[in-house]
Amino acid sequence: MTLDIRTIAPSELHEEMLRLKTERQMDFLVNLVGMDWGEEGLGVIYMLESTRTGETATLKTVTADRENPFIPTVSDLWQIANIYEREVYDFFGIKFLNHPDMRRIFLREDWVGYPLRKDDKTEEENPLRMTDEPLADTTHEYFLKEDGSVGVKENTVWGKDEYVVNVGPQHPSTHGVLHMRASLDGEIVKKVGLVLGYIHRGVEKISESMTYPQLLAMTDRLDYFSAMQNRHALCMCIEKAMGLEVSERVQYIRTIMDELQRIASHLIYYACMTMDTGALTAFFYTFREREQLMKIFEDNFGGRLIMNYNTIGGVMYDILPSFVKEVKEFEKALRNRFKEYQDIYTNNVIAKGRMVGVGTISNEDAISLGLTGPVGRASGWKNDVRKRHPYAMYDKVDFTEIVRNEGDTNARHWNRMDEMLESLNIIDQLIDNIPAGEFQAKRKPIIKLPEGCFYQAVEASRGELGVFIESKGDKTPYRVHYRSSSLPLANAMDTASRGQKFADLIAIGASMDFVIPDIDR
Amino acid sequence: MFDFSIVTKWFHSLLCGVMPEWTAIGIECLIVLLFIIVLYAILAIVLIYMERKVCAFFQCRIGPNRVGKWGLLQVFADVLKMLTKEIIKMRQSDRLLHDMAPYFVLAASFLTFACIPWNKGLEILDFNVGAFFFIAVSGIGVVGILLAGWASHSKYPIIGAMRSGAQLISYELSIGMTMLTVIMLCGTMQLSEIVQQQADYGWNIVRGHVPAVLAFIIYLIAGNAECNRGPFDLPEAESELTAGYHTEYSGMGFGFFYLAEYLNLFICSAMAATIFLGGWAPLMIPGLDGFNAVMAYIPGFVWFFAKAFFVVFLLMWIRWTFPRLRIDQLLSLEWKYLLPISMFNIILMALVVCLGLTL
Amino acid sequence: MGKPKIKSIPYEEFKDNETLEQMLDELNAHGANVVVTTADKLINWGRSNSVWPMNFGTSCCAIELMAMGAARFDMARFGFEVTRTSPRQADLILVCGTITNKMAPVLRRLYDQMADPKYVIAIGGCTCTGGPFTKSYHVVKGVDKILPVDVYVPGCPPRPEAFYYGMMQLQRKMKIENFLGTVNRKEKDEHKEEAEELQKKIINQEQEA
């Protein structure tokens, strides 16, 4: 089940990509992975998907030059490639020709070296620097001159007379340490730029020195509101590579847990949304129901936030006999409270004024920006991984994909509200029929994956979360990459909030519901 | 109703008996000053405690309950802490203006505080243009907030201060208009006289019926905005501007803003109670003489505080329920809705008064 | 000064009383007059019962901080009521979540922006030692490398009860401080000189420019 990868020379890359996009309608760039193949050189893996036909394609391109690697950009074809390519530049030092903004994005601008290269001596060259971080207002663009050599030109990101407000890295409404630089004209937002990496923990690099079971510890801490789904994705990816079958009982449990986690995440979303728009009381209401859910989690696997539940081939513990009853009680409580949430906040005239028609993202932009999850579905793009590539029990249960067409904050908000009910429906169908069976498949103590590249996506709470593993047949992976569900959302802030008021920037940020450690990894 | 002016007059003549009049007035001024400051502090503490308990109640929490019985000493602990906290001086701020700003806000709130008639004959500042004076001095607060934002030399405070300037100046119009409505009904600007009339002819909100109720609602909305409290807390919008215009203030500098916020809430409510709900006038229902006699037995300042705290509770309820408005929505609410309505309301009130339709 | 008391929890039930007793001895050995100690007690009572935390969180632990503010755990009961978003007005910085190399100068600056007296609690494995990310190239291995930490609360993430335990330990520590007397208990900030030097350098650079 390895990925079928086609190799293209860098010189033909842009043409081929354009062909794929226009002729085969590959308008969704799922993932873009930077790679260091050692001797072979540096390269990039592109994963494409067509939103019309559902076709997928995976391509790779390699450049042997390790000193000055150049690859043409695809950021003019897919907007999301802009930020993905900056990430690759940051970690591997691959420079993208014609990319308008070649600045580092995760690491400090005075960082030396490229940490994800196999030969990088990061620790020695980069001691802990306590000086203020330099933030350049200009950037470089590399382009091919007519004679074939590479030229550099300087682009201005922030002009001298712009009133730039730093929203973050320490700000109450960025839900962590996101740093947005917003250029304001009075109260109106003219432009938003992202500075990421304040919680970049180097998960992908650490993972390369870990065995597969050890890898599992990392995923829960990426997007802690989708801890279950993240780990589910990684486990499935490894199981798929190993050819390990898991029992039906495990599939049932995993699906139920995924949906419970989704509800917990959306409850937090509601709390954050209300807090960011100033309705402080509503914040406490969903936390009340969440605590009930936390208790179920805690009883069954000991953790409140970081669960460490899924394992390769099963789950850590069997569910308790009381689980079914407790989940049903929670379900009843949530359905009862649901109207209350809408009464106190969503249907409030002020809240409506703050949400309707604010931060609209068109369908084309949503696809081009790779906005999966409830945000993309609010712009009329059917992107639910549970429908597109069903996994676990999702092809057997009956549920509708919530799609709205307005693309504004209100649509995103309601999408999440409706998804909670839909998740309850899914749980309803499964909870009474959990089959008997073992909760952990038998497997060898040492796990080695066959050679090749593997990719598995799940629908996490805020969109498609993909795990990409390249294995050379060892105990440890050669390269692990997570397709973050939040990075595209944060990247869309600029598109969504241009021309809106400063207060809307906060509301839009809340409606995107990104989780920063998931962005930075 | 017991007239407090008997006591004050007796005290004045007593002092005049042993000393020249100017020293007597000097001593009286000192006593009044002390009285205002103590009352101010007590009210602030009561209000902060009340706010915490009320918001805890709305949020299914308990609120402070460990410090003293029922957490009664919580606010004292906060005050002690704030008093002993470092006051940060910033390198690039305008030091003089930065230090002055909280005092402007305090001064505004003290001066308005002095206008309130507590009981019959117990007024500190009472003259024939009392209502006008009240509106005029409340405007000083805007200067303080603008200064705080400007002198901090920081981006969030300046945005907060500018928002605040736009907001306070706009909503002052509505406050003025609604007070004008009541002044038309009573025919006087003297606050003690307005209350006296309500004691004689019934509360303004009843006496002026439709236009008075309308004015009361507009006053509550505009008053809430004047106090910078939710849903109009844009100048210090926590989730947008960290702490708004007082982001850079620490220790007691921040403490003064914090105190003034709560006192403004009380002053706003007290003024609502004074001009609409009869101030210290007891609840009288025509025809029920026994009931009226009992009500008249309750001292005036109790009535006054009960009414004021009722309005405070209403405002807290509003604050902890609604989401925050956006700046353009805030301004359009004032200029497109509240101001035209209150202008129309003045005409309505004029008609009501001229045609003798008051109850 | 006597042993610090916490309402409804006996002194013996706390762990690590030795450190506190050592501090107490140190304090008592210097001696102070009656008026000063009484005033100190009053101030310490006020300070320890009104610890306003700053709204600071980088990752998972911050969610548990939110849960702690919410109805079931309600930190307002203890006087941790007002989470200030501006560092100038906060007394306590709860370092919730991993601190990375890029975040470290920002955190240090936040700490420097806070008004004295200020306290630090390191919440979670990541801030205590680096946690599961110790091997990373971009994670500060323990927040005590950049800030003076008063209390450590391990866990990944710690339960809200553990937060409380840590915060009560801090309250106990605050109760044996000396504000007016000769020796101030507040532990020395090892990194202060470094930070001040840096600041001076920046000021010089600015002036030159």
**A506 to B59: CB separation less than 8 angstroms, yes or no:** no
Residue numbers of C between 76 and 135 with CB closer than 8 Å to A:
85, 87, 97-98, 100-106, 108-110, 132-133, 135
Say whether residue C38 is in contact with chain B using an 8 A CB cutoff: no
Nearest CA in chain A to B54: A281
Task: Using the predicted structure, report yes or no on whether residue B330 has a pLDDT greater than 80.
Answer: yes
A271-301 per-residue burial string, b: 16 or more CB within 10 A, e: under 16:
bbbbbbbbbbbbbbbbbbbbbebbebbeebb
For tokens 């007379």, the residue is A161
Token pair in block for residue B208: 């002026």
**A108 to C101: CB separation less than 8 angstroms, yes or no:** yes
Say whether residue C115 is in contact with chain B using an 8 A CB cutoff: yes
**Cα–Cα distance measured from residue B34 to residue B16, given in angstroms and rounded to the nearest whole number:** 20
Q: Can you say whether residue B197 is alpha, beta or left, with left for phi > 0 and alpha for psi between -120 and 50 degrees?
A: alpha
- Residue A349's pLDDT band, with cuts at 50, 70 and 90, is confident
Say whether residue B71 is in contact with chain C using an 8 A CB cutoff: yes
For an interface test with B, give the residue of C5, C8, C72, C88 to mutate (most B CBs within 10 A): C88
Average pLDDT along chain A: 85
Asked if residue C117 has a cis previous peptide bond (ω within 30° of 0), the answer is yes
Token pair in block for residue A213: 């079971």
**Dihedral over alpha carbons B183, B187, B189, B191 (to 10 degrees):** -90
In 3D space, the residue among A16, A15, A60 whose CA is nearest the CA of residue A41 turns out to be A60
Task: Using the predicted structure, report yes or no on whether residue C186 has a pLDDT greater than 60.
Answer: no
**C50 to B74: CB separation less than 8 angstroms, yes or no:** yes
For an interface test with C, give the residue of B52, B53, B62, B85 to mutate (most C CBs within 10 A): B85
Token pair in block for residue C41: 């007690």
**Cα–Cα distance measured from residue C70 to residue C62, given in angstroms and rounded to the nearest whole number:** 13
**B85 to C116: CB separation less than 8 angstroms, yes or no:** yes
Task: Using the predicted structure, report yes or no on whether residue A173 has a pLDDT greater than 80.
Answer: no
In 3D space, the residue among A126, A86, A122, A135 whose CA is nearest the CA of residue A106 turns out to be A86
Instruction: Read off the pLDDT of residues C122-156 as tens digits, 9 standing for 90 and up.
Output: 888 888 888 888 888 888 888 888 888 888 888 88
Chains touching A (at least 3 CB pairs under 8 A) are B, C
What are the chain C neighbours of B76 within 8 Å (beta carbons)?
46
What are the chain C neighbours of B66 within 8 Å (beta carbons)?
7, 49, 77-79
For an interface test with A, give the residue of C65, C98, C111, C138 to mutate (most A CBs within 10 A): C138
Nearest CA in chain A to C110: A170
**Cα–Cα distance measured from residue A209 to residue A212, given in angstroms and rounded to the nearest whole number:** 10
Query: φ, ψ for residue C164 (rounded to 5)?
Result: -60, -45
Task: Using the predicted structure, report yes or no on whether residue B299 has a pLDDT greater than 60.
Answer: yes
Query: φ, ψ for residue A32 (rounded to 5)?
Result: -140, 110
What are the chain B neighbours of C42 within 8 Å (beta carbons)?
80
**A209 to C198: CB separation less than 8 angstroms, yes or no:** no
**CB within 8 A of B182, min separation 6: which ones?**
B131, B194, B204, B208, B212, B215, B275, B276
Angle at the Cα of A256 (from A251 to A261), degrees rounded to 5? 125
B149 CA to centre of own chain: 22
Instruction: Read off the pLDDT of residues A220-279 as tens digits, 9 standing for 90 and up.
Output: 888 888 888 888 888 888 888 888 888 888 888 889 888 988 998 998 888 888 888 888
**Cα–Cα distance measured from residue B93 to residue C27, given in angstroms and rounded to the nearest whole number:** 38
Instruction: Read off the pLDDT of residues A85-110 as tens digits, 9 standing for 90 and up.
Output: 888 988 888 888 888 888 888 888 88
- By the 8 A CB rule, do B247 and B152 touch? yes
Most confident of A63-72, A118-127, B293-302: A63-72
Nearest CA in chain B to C54: B242
- By the 8 A CB rule, do B102 and B249 touch? yes
In 3D space, the residue among A195, A174, A116, A59 whose CA is nearest the CA of residue A482 turns out to be A116
A485 CA to centre of own chain: 2
Nearest CA in chain B to C84: B243
| pLDDT at residue C184 in the model | 53
For an interface test with C, give the residue of A201, A220, A268 to mutate (most C CBs within 10 A): A201
**CB within 8 A of A353, min separation 6: which ones?**
B325, B326, B329
- By the 8 A CB rule, do A494 and A361 touch? no
Domains of chain A in sequence order: 1-119+141-155 (3.30.460.80), 203-520 (1.10.645.10)
**C77 to B63: CB separation less than 8 angstroms, yes or no:** yes
| pLDDT at residue B341 in the model | 92
- By the 8 A CB rule, do A75 and A96 touch? yes
Task: Using the predicted structure, report yes or no on whether residue A336 has a pLDDT greater than 80.
Answer: yes
**CB within 8 A of B229, min separation 6: which ones?**
B261, B265, B315, B319
In 3D space, the residue among A171, A204, A184, A261 whose CA is nearest the CA of residue A510 turns out to be A171
Task: Using the predicted structure, report yes or no on whether residue C181 has a pLDDT greater than 60.
Answer: no
Region of poorest pLDDT, from B22-31, C10-19, C23-32, C179-188: C179-188
What are the chain A neighbours of C71 within 8 Å (beta carbons)?
284, 287-288, 291
**CB within 8 A of A82, min separation 6: which ones?**
A75, A99, A100, A101, A491
Give domain limits for chain C: 13-203
What are the chain B neighbours of C89 within 8 Å (beta carbons)?
243, 246, 249-250, 254
| DSSP-assigned beta bridge partners for residue A189 | A184
What are the chain C neighbours of A131 within 8 Å (beta carbons)?
105, 198
Instruction: Read off the pLDDT of residues A147-170 as tens digits, 9 standing for 90 and up.
Output: 878 888 888 888 888 888 888 788
Chains touching C (at least 3 CB pairs under 8 A) are A, B
- Residue C32's pLDDT band, with cuts at 50, 70 and 90, is low
Name the minimum distance, in Å, from the CA of B74 to any CA of chain C: 7
- By the 8 A CB rule, do B227 and B351 touch? no
Task: Using the predicted structure, report yes or no on whether residue B205 has a pLDDT greater than 70.
Answer: yes
Burial class of residue C161, CB neighbours in 10 A (0-12, 13-18, 19+): exposed
Token pair in block for residue A188: 């109106």
A314 secondary structure, DSSP code: E
What are the chain C neighbours of B78 within 8 Å (beta carbons)?
46, 50, 79
Most confident of A197-211, C32-46, C71-85: A197-211
- Residue C189's pLDDT band, with cuts at 50, 70 and 90, is low
Q: DSSP E strands: which ranges in C44-193?
A: 53-54, 92-96, 119-123, 151-153
For an interface test with C, give the residue of B250, B252, B320 to mutate (most C CBs within 10 A): B250
Say whether residue B252 is in contact with chain C using an 8 A CB cutoff: no
Nearest CA in chain A to B326: A503
Rg of chain A over CA atoms, in angstroms?
A: 23
B330 CA to centre of own chain: 21
Which residue in C106, C138, C159 is closest to A200 by CB distance? C138
Name the minimum distance, in Å, from the CA of C6 to any CA of chain B: 10
- What is the Cβ-side half-sphere exposure of residue C114, based on CA atoms within 13 angstroms? 24
Q: What HEC string does chain B produce?
A: CCCCHHHHHHHHHHHHHHCCHHHHHHHHHHHHHHHHHHHHHHHHHHHHHHHHHHHHHHCCCCCCCCCCHHHCCHHHHHHHHHHCCCCCCCCCCCHHHHHHHHHHHHHHHHHHHHHCCCECCECCCCCCCHHHHHHHHHCHHHHHHHHHHHHCCCHHHHHHHHHHHHHHHHHHHHHHHHHHHHHHHHCCCCHHHHHHHHHHHCCHHHHCHHHHHHHHHHHHHHHHHHCCCCCCCHHHCHHHHCCHHHCCCCHHHHHHHHHHHHHHHHHHHHHHHHHCCCCCCCCCCCCCHHHHHHHHHCCHHHHHHHHHHHHHHHHHHHHCCCCCCCHHHHHHHHHHHHHHHHHHHHHHHHHHHHCCCCC
**C84 to B86: CB separation less than 8 angstroms, yes or no:** no
User: Right CATH number for C13-203 from 2.40.10.10, 1.10.1040.10, 3.40.50.12280, 3.60.20.10?
Assistant: 3.40.50.12280
Chains touching B (at least 3 CB pairs under 8 A) are A, C
- Residue B90's pLDDT band, with cuts at 50, 70 and 90, is confident
In 3D space, the residue among C181, C198, C159, C194 whose CA is nearest the CA of residue C39 turns out to be C181
In 3D space, the residue among A92, A198, A261 whose CA is nearest the CA of residue A517 turns out to be A198
In 3D space, the residue among B226, B199, B165, B209 whose CA is nearest the CA of residue B349 turns out to be B209
B38-54 per-residue burial string, b: 16 or more CB within 10 A, e: under 16:
eebeebbbbbbbbbbbb
What are the chain B neighbours of A351 within 8 Å (beta carbons)?
323
At B237, the amino acid letter reads A
**B67 to C79: CB separation less than 8 angstroms, yes or no:** yes
- By the 8 A CB rule, do C181 and C40 touch? yes
- Please give the average per-residue pLDDT across A335-351, as a whole number: 86
Name the minimum distance, in Å, from the CA of B107 to any CA of chain A: 29
Residue numbers of A between 127 and 166 with CB closer than 8 Å to B:
163, 165-166
Task: Report helix, strand or coil for C81.
Answer: coil
Instruction: Read off the pLDDT of residues A353-374 as tens digits, 9 standing for 90 and up.
Output: 888 888 888 888 888 888 888 8
What are the chain C neighbours of A115 within 8 Å (beta carbons)?
137-138
| pLDDT at residue A354 in the model | 86
Nearest CA in chain A to C101: A128
Task: Report helix, strand or coil for A34.
Answer: strand
**A201 to C136: CB separation less than 8 angstroms, yes or no:** yes
**Cα–Cα distance measured from residue A370 to residue C179, given in angstroms and rounded to the nearest whole number:** 57
- Please give the average per-residue pLDDT across A58-77, as a whole number: 85
Q: Can you say whether residue C151 is alpha, beta or left, with left for phi > 0 and alpha for psi between -120 and 50 degrees?
A: beta
| DSSP-assigned beta bridge partners for residue A45 | A33, A60
- By the 8 A CB rule, do A513 and A484 touch? no
Task: Using the predicted structure, report yes or no on whether residue A53 has a pLDDT greater than 80.
Answer: yes
**Cα–Cα distance measured from residue A188 to residue A182, given in angstroms and rounded to the nearest whole number:** 10
Angle at the Cα of A420 (from A416 to A422), degrees rounded to 5? 110
Name the minimum distance, in Å, from the CA of C156 to any CA of chain B: 26
- Collect all residues from B whose CB is shorter than 8 A from any CB in A: 55, 58-61, 155-156, 159, 163, 230-231, 233-234, 237-240, 242, 320-329
Share of chain A above pLDDT 70, in %: 100
**B61 to C116: CB separation less than 8 angstroms, yes or no:** no
Token pair in block for residue B25: 């007035």
Token pair in block for residue A507: 């509301």
- By the 8 A CB rule, do A491 and A369 touch? yes
The CA distances from residue A435 to A251, A296, A431, in Å, are 10, 20, 10
What are the chain A neighbours of C156 within 8 Å (beta carbons)?
306
Q: DSSP E strands: which ranges in A407-489?
A: 452-460, 463-471, 479-483
**Count of CB atoms situated within 10 Å of the CB of C11:** 12
**C81 to B64: CB separation less than 8 angstroms, yes or no:** yes
What are the chain B neighbours of C86 within 8 Å (beta carbons)?
242-243, 246-248
Q: What is the ipTM of this complex?
A: 0.85
Q: Give C116 or C185, the one with higher predicted confidence.
A: C116
